[in-house]
């Protein structure tokens, strides 16, 4: 009996030690996980009214100019009509926007990434952006041509954010324990994140050339894995009401869903007033959004905003 008892106790000890060992090893693997945890959810918030009223107009303009957003749009030849729409609409509001294509396309100027693989395109584009522009821009926004973005609202959300911190923001999706920013809602990186990403990309073991062995992992997931190694974690951006600001759906789709799910509060339950992106638009819908966001409004509704953005030169649809 005694020998059974002692072997039982030995078993308990060994079992516990074994578990502890596994857990500790697991944590080391995840890396700086717990320590950086507080970066995950910033709940980006607007400054309050009293603060705004204290700032002079000149200060507001200066504050507005401190955000410099470089837009990367990844395109393929088949995207030509969306490419045209995007070029004529929202990208005019980026401080600089460049199109990165899989191959040369006659109709439009672009930077040729010379590859059909989306992950490779993304990596090369980020590398290009870092090498050329890391000292000129502090925020880097990547999107597909199916996305419509309101850069002014992006800048509003970045208000009070320090670009020297690693930010990786957008519409996040959880895949088990793993959280990544969906490319369909647009991906925002601070210059610090871009810097870390770039140094990782130069040491290729952590960021593999291709995705999984059997099936391809989407490029946005790949990016998240890479950034994780660099200690940069995905954050979901929400407004003061908790509504997503980066959207992977179009306004139309949101409305249709709202009409089914809460028909008595369709618009109120739909989308954020300060939405930054919508996705899945047709080229025509992009032009309608341009009119709806930058022109159409109800007379007599005014706002006292902390930032001031002027319309871009040489444009007639905003």
Partner 1 sequence: MSEIHFQEMASKSWLNILTFLCGSAIGFFFCSQLFSILLGEQGDTQPNILHNDPHARHSDDNGQNHPEGQMNFNADSSQHKDENTDIAENLYQKVKILCWVMTGPQNLEKKAKHVKATWAQRCNKVLFMSSEENKDFPTVGLKTKEGRDQLYWKTIKAFQYVHDHYLEDADWFMKADDDTYVILDNLRWLLSKYSPEKPIYFGRRFKPFVKQGYMSGGAGYVLSKEALKRFIDAFKTEKCTHSSSIEDLALGKCMEVMNVEAGDSRDTTGKETFHPFVPEHHLIKSYLPRTFWYWNYNYYPPVQGPGCCSDLAVSFHYVDSTTMYELEYLVYHLRAYGYLYRYQPALPENILKEVSQVNKNEDPKVKLGNP
**Binding to partner 1 in span 186-245, by CB under 8 A:** 236, 238-242, 244
Among 30, 45, 78, 199, interactor with partner 1 by CB under 8 A: 45
In the range 19-38, which residues lie near partner 1 by CB under 8 A?
19-20, 23, 34, 37-38
Among 30, 31, 32, 43, interactor with partner 1 by CB under 8 A: 43
List Cβ neighbours of 299 (8 Å cut-off, separation of 6 or more). Answer: none
Both tokens of residue 210? 């291709």
* CA separation for the pair 228, 198 (Å, rounded): 13
Of 198 and 285, which has the nearer Cβ to partner 1? 285
In the range 55-114, which residues lie near partner 1 by CB under 8 A?
56-57, 60, 64, 93
In the range 119-148, which residues lie near partner 1 by CB under 8 A?
none
Give the side-chain half-sphere CA count within 13 A for 213. 0
Of 17 and 132, which has the nearer Cβ to partner 1? 17
Min separation Cβ 56 and partner 1, Å: 8
Of 105 and 276, which has the nearer Cβ to partner 1? 276
Of 31 and 311, which has the nearer Cβ to partner 1? 311
Residues touching partner 1, count (CB under 8 A): 99
Min separation Cβ 44 and partner 1, Å: 9
Strands 277-279 and 147-149, by their bridges, are antiparallel
H helix intervals, 210-281:
219-229, 251-261
* CA separation for the pair 238, 172 (Å, rounded): 11
Min separation Cβ 23 and partner 1, Å: 6
In the range 299-318, which residues lie near partner 1 by CB under 8 A?
299-311, 316-318
Among 153, 193, 277, 279, interactor with partner 1 by CB under 8 A: 153
Among 39-47, 72-80, 127-135, 214-222, the segment contacting partner 1 (CB under 8 A): 39-47
Q: Are 231 and 35 in contact (CB under 8 A)?
A: no
DSSP reduced 3-state for 267: coil
What is each CA distance from 209 to 122, 166, 202, 226, in whole angstroms? 11, 24, 12, 11
Among 107-115, 207-215, 224-232, 269-277, the segment contacting partner 1 (CB under 8 A): 269-277
* CA separation for the pair 280, 186 (Å, rounded): 12
Among 131-139, 187-195, 214-222, 287-295, the segment contacting partner 1 (CB under 8 A): 287-295
Query: Would you call 44 exposed, middle or buried from its count of C-beta atoms within 10 A (0-12, 13-18, 19+)?
Result: buried
Q: Are 118 and 74 in contact (CB under 8 A)?
A: yes
To which residue do tokens 């709940």 refer? 43
Among 111-119, 124-132, 208-216, 258-266, the segment contacting partner 1 (CB under 8 A): 258-266
Backbone angles phi, psi at 123, to 5 degrees: -60, -50
Min separation Cβ 26 and partner 1, Å: 10
């Amino acid at each position: 009996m005694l020998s059974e008892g002692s072997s039982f106790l030995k078993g308990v000890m060994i079992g516990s030690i074994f578990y502890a060992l596994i857990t500790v090893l697991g944590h080391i693997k995840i890396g700086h996980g717990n320590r950086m945890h507080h970066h995950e959810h910033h709940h980006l918030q607007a400054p309050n009214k009293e603060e705004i009223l204290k700032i002079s107009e000149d200060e507001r303009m200066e504050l507005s100019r401190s955000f410099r957003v470089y837009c990367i749009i990844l395109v393929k030849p088949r995207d030509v009509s969306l490419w045209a729409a995007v070029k004529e609409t929202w990208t005019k509001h980026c401080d600089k926007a460049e199109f990165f294509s899989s191959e040369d396309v006659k109709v439009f100027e672009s930077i040729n990434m010379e590859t059909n693989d989306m992950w490779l395109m993304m990596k090369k584009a980020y590398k290009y952006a870092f090498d050329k522009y890391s000292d000129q821009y502090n925020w880097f926004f990547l999107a597909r041509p199916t996305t419509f973005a309101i850069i002014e609202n992006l800048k509003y959300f970045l208000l009070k954010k320090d670009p020297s911190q690693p930010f990786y923001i957008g519409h996040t999706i959880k895949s088990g324990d793993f959280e990544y920013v969906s490319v369909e809602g647009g991906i925002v990186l601070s210059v610090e994140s871009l810097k870390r990403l770039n140094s990782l990309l130069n040491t290729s073991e952590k960021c593999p050339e291709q995705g999984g062995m059997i099936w391809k992992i989407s490029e946005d997931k790949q990016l998240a894995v890479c950034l994780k190694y660099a200690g940069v974690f995905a954050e979901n951006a929400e407004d003061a009401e908790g509504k997503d600001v980066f959207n992977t759906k179009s306004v139309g789709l949101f409305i249709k869903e709202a009409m089914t799910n809460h028909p008595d509060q369709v618009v109120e339950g739909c989308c954020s007033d300060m939405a930054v992106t919508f996705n899945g638009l047709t080229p025509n819908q992009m032009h309608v959004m341009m009119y709806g966001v930058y022109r159409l409004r109800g007379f007599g509704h005014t706002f006292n905003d902390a930032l001031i953005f002027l319309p871009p030169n040489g444009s007639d649809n905003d």
